[in-house]
């Protein structure tokens, strides 16, 4: 079983969605990622370079959410997974993108797309 590093509840304003108002006004998105990797080498040497710097990862993920708009949060989730998998220590990742202010005309708590991706 691989180890896990989780980053939960990253809140970033983005302009994703299919409706013109979503692109114009933007809204808050919430991102959760779970990285699967081996943390033993980092722990053995107490060496940050042998694991994932979650502060830098958070900044990279935030740039994607705040960056180029896409229609689907499925597409956004894939872009975020790609950012995580670009780190050589990460074997696989689970990404959840929450869109709590989705334009749904009924009461609801959240809309979430969750994907799991692994290295090819």
pLDDT tens per residue, range 39-79: 999 999 999 999 999 999 999 999 999 999 999 999 999 99
Phi, psi values for residue 67, rounded to 5°? -85, -145
Q: What percent of the chain has pLDDT over 70?
A: 100
Which pLDDT belongs to residue 112? 98
Radius of gyration of the chain (CA): 15
Of 99, 106, 115, 116, catalytic:
99
- Taking 80 as the threshold, does the pLDDT of residue 120 lie above it? no
Distance CA 46, CA 59 (A): 23
- Is 8 among the catalytic positions? no
Q: Give the containing element (helix H, strand E) for 114.
A: strand 112-118
- Taking 90 as the threshold, does the pLDDT of residue 1 lie above it? no
- The answer to whether 48 and 69 have CB atoms below 8 angstroms apart is no
Q: Rounded to whole angstroms, what are the CA distances from 41 to 3, 11, 50, 57, 120?
A: 11, 31, 6, 19, 23
- The answer to whether 34 and 3 have CB atoms below 8 angstroms apart is no
CATH architecture of 3-118: 2-Layer Sandwich (3.30)
Any idea what DSSP says for residue 91? S
Which pLDDT belongs to residue 16? 98
- Taking 80 as the threshold, does the pLDDT of residue 92 lie above it? yes
């Amino acid at each position: 079983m691989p180890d896990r590093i989780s980053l939960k509840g990253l809140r970033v304003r983005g302009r994703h969605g299919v409706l013109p108002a979503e692109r114009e006004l933007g809204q808050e998105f919430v991102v959760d990622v779970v990285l699967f990797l081996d943390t033993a080498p980092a722990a053995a040497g107490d060496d940050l370079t042998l694991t994932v710097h979650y502060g830098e990862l958070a900044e990279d993920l935030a740039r994607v959410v705040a960056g180029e708009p896409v229609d689907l949060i499925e597409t956004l989730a894939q872009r975020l997974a790609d950012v995580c998998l670009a780190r050589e220590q990460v074997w696989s990742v689970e990404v959840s993108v929450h869109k709590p202010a989705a334009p749904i005309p009924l009461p609801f708590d959240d809309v979430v797309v969750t994907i799991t991706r692994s290295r090819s």
